[in-house]
A and B are shown apart, each in its own frame.
Chain A
Amino acid sequence: GAVVSQHPSWVICKSGTSVKIECRSLDFQATTMFWYRQFPKQSLMLMATSNEGSKATYEQGVEKDKFLINHASLTLSTLTVTSAHPEDSSFYICSARPRGLDYNEQFFGPGTRLTVL
């Protein structure tokens, strides 16, 4: 149980295009989903926290107009990188906190590797 999927696994795009990444909790409902970015040899950096039915909360320094997050349902959140540039190339990982879990574990998706040319 507690499986989180991400799609796509990897994507290569041209500079200036937009890329959408989906995060789904497959066998549980998630009240909260988190989006992280990880650059090579660095730790996870939280970008935003997404609650179903409400606006995402972005971390300081993360442009909300560039990284659009939509938490449409209790099992789906999407991250859209708008007008992507080479410096946006990174490993994007989502995680989901199950609804009603009596402790605070987050379950991670497999990640999406974005390369912007």
Chain B
Amino acid sequence: QLQLQESGPGLVKPSETLSLTCTVSGGSISSSSYYWGWIRQPPGKGLEWIGSIYYSGSTYYNPSLKSRVTISVDTSKNQFSLKLSSVTAADTAVYYCARLDPPPNLRFDYWGQGTLVTVSS
């Protein structure tokens, strides 16, 4: 059974860089059949797609976040990571990692449990 687990600091200061890692177990991140993505959900609000990556390193980013987002993959550790720079309070959210079908399907079929990241001084 595929499992995804987010990890990283739960508190980040304004203007700093948020860094999260998603560890995949029960399957290979190098599968040619899937992309891997990050989605966030501010408290009490809806879901927002952040971006996605293929094991080869090919990426797609939400245009509204593109200037601040970097997603990378480490196939040797079966992990992929998110970096979001220059954070503000508006970036406070539960961050989820997920597996998805390659575009254009965008079927998010496995999700991590999510991790709350608070931006505060």
Do A and B truly interact?
no
